[in-house]
Amino acid sequence: PASPPPPHVAMLVTPGMGHLIPLAELAKRLASRHGATATLITFASTASATQRAFLSSLPPAVSSLSLPPVDLSDLPRGAAIETLMSEECARSVPALTDILLGLKRTTGRLAAFVADLFGADSFDAARDAGVDRRYLFFPTNLHVLTLILHLPELDTSVPGEFRDLAEPLRLPGCVPIPGPDVLMPLQDKTNPCYKWMVHHGSKYREADAILVNSFDAVEPGPAKILRQPAPGRPVVYPIGPLIQADTGGSKNDAACLEWLDRQPDRSVIFVSFGSGGALPTEQMRELALGLELSGQRFLWVVRSPSDEGAVNDNYYDAESKKDPFAYLPEGFVERTKEVGLVVPSWAPQIKVLAHRATGGFLTHCGWNSVLESLVHGVPMVAWPLYAEQRQNAVMLSAEGVGAAIRVPESKGREKIAAAVRELMEGEGSGAAVRAKVAELQKAAAEGLQEGGAAAAALAEVVEKWTGGEN
Ligand code: UDP
């Protein structure tokens, strides 16, 4: 019989490069391995230059379009990012329905609709447009997914705040998470973003399946449980690690890479807090002095401190708001110029992690950064800031898989220096972390190969899209 036509997939991307990048990678993989085409649907609030450049660099099989702007001016100033994204999505349902109806007409065969973690309300639009297969793409990990899926119950069983829990939160298969490390948007139940997260937890159940950007070896406990079908919960497919192939050119690229070229193998610790993270002034100072004290070579992406604005002030736009160099300790750049390079705002992270001179990564534990580090076999020092990063730090450090050393909460320069030194050349926990990361790098690569677990999971999903099943 004639093989069915290749599927077209519509994908809704909630704001943030951390959502766009892996979803675009998924679209590219569906195109290159399975002959699919895809349309990425973005929100008007994220029409930044960075995003436009990224979208225009995608292959022809992956097109994009933007939803019209929605009015969010009634939301209180300082509303959480999770609230803004959820509201923007909920208010875009009518426009999205029209877009999906249009795509059905123009593509002839809209095989599936995929929404990401804050976009589950868009399932209503897909239903209204008569798109039968509705999938969730979860760009973070199985630990976070387990938590969100349990939120509707936890909302009743945990009456107070998570941070006040006497015992760590224990969920099926998961590393126990101490209360204060639980997902940031759940830490204040009076904040509307808490209610939004509980809502998403029940909305996720409407998905036919959930595709997760993670892999078994990095979180074997929840992988084992979520891979089994369970009544009342969508099937879960770990399809990662999907990371971006490369970060296009930026003005710091050449400076970083030429500097790395001059450093010995595995001698440099890369220090970066993601696309939006920044530290409070005092911690930024301790970090500088800690790096200096460690005696290790470093490449540090600096942003102006967070107490000069919100902690994730840069979320919609990665440019540092002020001159970050002004906040470094007096004489720091001069004193460390033989061993360190400090760049403002942005570095070509993938190229840096792939460079032979890079031997460690001090990271905020954003999930994309973690996956990129593991894919390139770079062990981590965990310094989480917001979102799910504290939880990620727990599952990555000794309590969990052991791929990172966490900086103690006090964040003093000596403790920072000790963690960095141990990671780079220590014979105790440092050596164990380095060995574990090498193992995870291998497991990640094997999963993505033809026949590997991640490749097989994605093939199974595509089979459903093309085979007429849900
Ligand atoms: N990134 C980069 N250069 C930087 C900072 C970040 O290329 O200086 C990229 C990084 O490679 C990753 C993404 O931006 O792909 C950050 O995503 P992550 O989930 O780690 O953190 P978030 O930005 O969502 O907090």
pLDDT along the chain (470 residues), means of 10: 79 93 96 96 87 92 97 95 96 98 93 97 98 97 98 97 98 98 97 98 97 98 96 96 77 89 98 92 97 98 82 53 87 96 93 98 98 98 97 98 97 98 98 98 97 96 81
| Position in ligand 1 atom list of the atom nearest CA 385 | 25
Let me know if 19 is a catalytic residue: yes
Q: Where are the alpha helices (DSSP H) in 114-265?
A: 123-128, 142-157, 192-203, 220-227, 253-261
C-alpha–C-alpha distance, residues 159 and 149, integer Å: 17
Q: Is the peptide bond before 241 cis (omega within 30 degrees of 0)?
A: yes
From the CB of residue 192, how many other CB atoms can be counted at a distance below 10 Å? 17
Tell me which residue has its CA closest to atom 8 in ligand 1. 346
CA–centroid distance, 94 to ligand 1, in Å, is: 32
Q: In what order do the strands lie in the sheet with 404-406?
A: 340-344, 297-302, 268-272, 358-363, 380-382, 404-406
C-alpha–C-alpha distance, residues 400 and 164, integer Å: 22
ipTM for this model:
0.99
Is the Cβ–Cβ distance between 9 and 465 less than 8 Å? yes
Cα–Cα distances in Å, from 265 out to 339, 360, 373, 456?
14, 11, 16, 35
First vs last C-alpha separation in the chain: 21
Tell me which residue has its CA closest to atom 15 in ligand 1. 368
Is the Cβ–Cβ distance between 178 and 394 less than 8 Å? yes
In order, the DSSP letters of 59-127 are -TTEEEEEPPP---TTSPTT--HHHHHHHHHHHTHHHHHHHHHHHHHHHS-EEEEEEETT-GGGHHHHH
Ligand 1 pocket mutation, candidates 13, 17, 317, criterion most atoms within 8 A of CB: 17
| Position in ligand 1 atom list of the atom nearest CA 18 | 24
Is the Cβ–Cβ distance between 349 and 369 less than 8 Å? yes
| Position in ligand 1 atom list of the atom nearest CA 312 | 25
Let me know if 307 is a catalytic residue: no
- Burial letters 344-353, b for 16+ CB under 10 A, else e: bbbbbbbebb
Amino acid at 313: D
Comparing CA positions, the residue from 364, 371, 356, 257 lying closest to residue 314 is 364
Residue 4 carries which DSSP code? P
CA–centroid distance, 281 to ligand 1, in Å, is: 21
Tell me which residue has its CA closest to atom 2 in ligand 1. 349
pLDDT at position 389, please? 98
| Position in ligand 1 atom list of the atom nearest CA 275 | 23
CA–centroid distance, 343 to ligand 1, in Å, is: 15
CA–centroid distance, 331 to ligand 1, in Å, is: 29
Amino acid at 77: R
Structure-token match 């006497």, residue found = 166
Is the Cβ–Cβ distance between 130 and 104 less than 8 Å? yes
CA–centroid distance, 328 to ligand 1, in Å, is: 22
Ligand 1 pocket mutation, candidates 46, 117, 138, 275, criterion most atoms within 8 A of CB: 275
Q: Residue 17: what are its φ and ψ, rounded to 5°?
A: -60, -30
Return the percent helix, strand and coil in the chain, to nearest 5: 45, 15, 40
Is the Cβ–Cβ distance between 263 and 394 less than 8 Å? no
CA–centroid distance, 266 to ligand 1, in Å, is: 21
| Position in ligand 1 atom list of the atom nearest CA 244 | 15
CA–centroid distance, 302 to ligand 1, in Å, is: 13
pLDDT at position 16, please? 87
Q: Is the peptide bond before 384 cis (omega within 30 degrees of 0)?
A: no
**Residues with beta carbon inside 6 Å of ligand 1?**
16-18, 21, 244, 247, 272, 274-277, 301, 346-347, 349-350, 366-369, 372
| Position in ligand 1 atom list of the atom nearest CA 389 | 25
- Choice among 19, 200, 355, 376 that is catalytic: 19
